[in-house]
Amino acid sequence: MGRTATIKRETSESSVELSVNLDGTGSADIDTTVPFFNHMMRSLSKHSLIDLTIRASGDTDIDVHHTVEDTAIVFGEALKQALGDKTGIRRFADATVPLDEALSRAVVDISGRPYAVCTGEPAGFEYAMIGGHFTGSLVRHVMESIAFHAGICLHMTVLAGRDPHHIAESEFKALARALRVAVEPDPRVKGIPSTKGAL
């Protein structure tokens, strides 16, 4: 059985249907109705090699926050479901990714214990409006939502950057590259990669 998951989430604020295939090629079919977030999730799919299909909509006439947040929640839940008992995975990984002047590092542990530490974004980044709809503060919120709902430990550090688009994209790509390694099977790992015997 493949490492796949499909999850639907309906609230009074948004509707999200999302599918993942951890053993894919980075194929993405994404429409969240938030253009910059579409771009970020396509990048995540492309560079993690996780096939990703998303159909999301919501009360973007109020703010894009609810749609973005709920999509991140569902993506985290789908990752967790697709990973199953985590038999044979590499578990730990890190990646440092540049985008022009921006540089971000993601370190992940597919631990079953949700935790997120996000540091280094420059002062004022949280107020930046990227693509006309997406505020910089949403990047950290997406990272935290994915980590908590996937049950992973994530440390995201922005090491350098000036342009908000570049900073955000380097963060998403760093997460993608770290996930690519952490979720992939390691032929040398037998069983669950934990001294506890469970993740």
CATH of residue 153: 3.30.230.40
In a domain, 106, yes or no: yes
- One DSSP character per residue, 4-69 reads EEEEEEE-SSEEEEEEEETTS---EEEE-S-HHHHHHHHHHHHHHT-EEEEEEEE-TTT-SHHHHH
In a domain, 199, yes or no: no
Domain tally, the chain: 1
In a domain, 190, yes or no: no
Q: What would the two tokens of residue 108 be?
A: 């992940």
pLDDT digits 0-9 by tens, 160-195: 999 999 999 999 999 999 999 999 999 999 999 999
Global pTM value:
0.97
In a domain, 196, yes or no: no
In a domain, 189, yes or no: no
User: How many other C-beta atoms lie within 10 A of the C-beta of residue 48?
Assistant: 27
Rg (CA), the chain: 16
pLDDT digits 0-9 by tens, 86-141: 999 999 999 999 999 999 999 999 999 999 999 999 999 999 999 999 999 999 99
Q: Which domain holds residue 19?
A: 4-182
